[in-house]
Structure formats: C-alpha cells, structure tokens
Amino acid sequence: MTNTFHLTCQHTDGDLALAHVAGDLDVATAPALRTQALALIERGHRHLILDLAAVTFCDSSGFNALVGIYRCAQAADGSLALSAVPDRLDRLLHLTGLDTLLPAHPTANAALAAHTRSPRTDSA
C-alpha cells in the first residue's frame, strides 16, 4: 500500500457535488476521505457522488468511511451515490446489503444523469 489518496471535487451544481476519489482507502487515508467529503456536505452539497474509478485499494476503514459519509448525507437530508465502483468494493457492498442504500452507477456521467432524474432534486 502506498497510502496515497486524493479527493478532487469536479462538479458542483447547487446542492450536488461530484468528487473523484483516487488512491488507497485504508486506515491511513479513510479519515481524510471522510473529512473532505463531509466538508462538501457542510458547504451545502448535501447530494454527493463519489467517483471511485481511480481507487486502487479499499479496506474496512475505507468501507466504514463510505458508510459514515452516507449517514452524514442522510442527516443533512441528502444522499450519497457511487460511480465506477471497483469490483472488490462492489462485492462487499452487495454482501453487506449496502448496495440497496448506496446506488452505484457505471460512470460519473451516469450518476449525474440519474441524480438529475431523481425526484429528490425536485424537493431540494
């Protein structure tokens, strides 16, 4: 593991933010993921899409960070969606049943399009 991690906000539109996540999500980087994602929510982007296409590794700490981000988004009356979820993380989401709470899309553009069609944005 290299313990490298980057979260880059690529798109914002009102209460929506799309952020690309790159690198390892582990015990060393999961707190930074959580902190940076929650900062986006606190800045009013309560609907958050995390593009995981460049995630190279995710352990239980990274998984727990995603769950924590989901809970904070829900507390802000928002949502968390994922895109380009790596296979291993996708299997873990499915095995734990979190795939029913965290919608996963094949690409960031697909996630943005799904959010635009979501009735949640109508009440925002």
107-118: pLDDT as tens digits: 999 999 998 776
Q: Is the dihedral of CA 69, 71, 75, 81 positive or negative?
A: positive
CA–CA separation, 122 vs 83, rounded Å?
22
pLDDT band at residue 4 under the 50/70/90 scheme: confident
Per-residue burial over 35-71, b if 16 or more Cβ lie within 10 Å, else e, is ebbbebbeeebbbbbbbbeebebbbebbbebbbbbbe
29-77: pLDDT as tens digits: 999 999 999 999 999 999 999 999 999 999 999 999 999 999 999 999 9
83 strand-pairing partners: 51, 105
Q: What is the pLDDT of residue 12?
A: 84
